[in-house]
Chains A and B, each alone.
Chain A
């Protein structure tokens, strides 16, 4: 099983600041198989990024993804109030797994 590690578990930032959220895989994975999701309290996750760097339909361009091999990053260029949420990375190998999530909270 491929383990995805998201650290830190929580980041405290102010609106307008940028956020850089890392995701590290226990073994190399194809960039095509790495996705990012946003989850707000009481809601289902929402797809943000697929294929490590492609934005899903309707996702603002302040969200971007990058990385390859074992190290991937979700970047939010300027935090809007609605961006404070939990973010999960997910790999789509033979057995899909999710990272533990990073909570972006208001500082």
Chain B
């Protein structure tokens, strides 16, 4: 059973860089039928896709966040990571990592999510 787990600081100061890692267990991140994505949800609000990466390193990002986002992959550790720079209070959210299934064209497996608060 594939499992995704987010990890990283729960508190980030304004103007700094938010960094999170998603560890995939129970299966390989190198499957050709999957991208691996980050999605966030501000408290009490809806879902926003941040960006996704293929195991080869190919990425695509939400245009509204593209200038501040970097997603990378480490296949040796079965992990992928998110960096979001120049954060503000508006970036406070639960951050989810998820598997993007290219066969059924949907996010079919999700991590439990981690709350990141931007505050001084």
Please tell me if the beta carbons of A1 and B63 are within 8 angstroms of each other in the complex.
yes
Instruction: A96 to B111: give the CA distance in the assembly, Å.
Output: 18
Q: 1/0 per residue B56-90: CB within 8 Å of A?
A: 00001011100000000000000000000000000
- Are B111 and A44 interface neighbours, CB within 8 A? yes
User: Which residue from A33, A56, A100 sits with its C-beta under 8 Å from B46?
Assistant: A100
B109 to chain A, nearest CB (A): 8
Find B107's partner among A33, A90, A101 (CB 8 Å cutoff). Answer: A90
Q: How far is the CA of A45 from the CA of B63 in the complex (A)?
A: 23
Instruction: Please give the distance in Å from B42's CB to the nearest CB on chain A.
Output: 12
Interface bits A29-68 vs B (CB < 8 Å: 1, else 0): 0001101010000011111001100101000000000000
- Chain A residue at minimal CB-CB distance from B107: A47
Residues of A within 8 A of B98 (CB): 44
Given contacts A98-B46, A99-B46, contact A92 B105 (CB under 8 A): yes
* Residue of chain A at shortest CB distance from B111: A44
Whether A98 contacts B108 by the Cβ 8 Å rule is: no
Asked if A45 and B110 sit within 8 Å, CB to CB, the answer is: yes
In the complex, the chain B residue whose C-beta lies closest to that of A97 is B49
Indicate if the CB atoms of A54 and B49 lie closer than 8 Å. Answer: no
A100 neighbours in B (Cβ, 8 Å): 46
Q: Given the complex, which residues of B lie within 8 Å of A46, measured CB to CB?
A: 110
Taking a contact as CB atoms closer than 8 A, the residue among A1, A90, A95, A101 that contacts B106 in the complex is A90
- Chain A residue contacts of B106, Cβ below 8 A: 35, 47, 50, 56, 90, 92
Q: A45-B47, A47-B107, A56-B104 are in contact. List 16 more A-B contacts (CB 8 A).
A: A35-B105, A35-B106, A37-B47, A37-B107, A44-B110, A44-B112, A45-B107, A45-B110, A51-B105, A56-B106, A90-B107, A92-B105, A95-B60, A95-B63, A96-B49, A99-B46
Please name 6 pairs of A and B residues whose Cβ atoms are closer than 8 Å in the assembled complex, sorted by A: A43-B112, A44-B98, A44-B113, A51-B104, A92-B105, A95-B62
5 shortest interchain CB distances as A-B pairs: A44-B110, A35-B106, A50-B106, A98-B47, A50-B104
Q: Residues of B with Cβ closer than 8 Å to A?
A: 37, 46-49, 60, 62-64, 96, 98, 104-108, 110-113
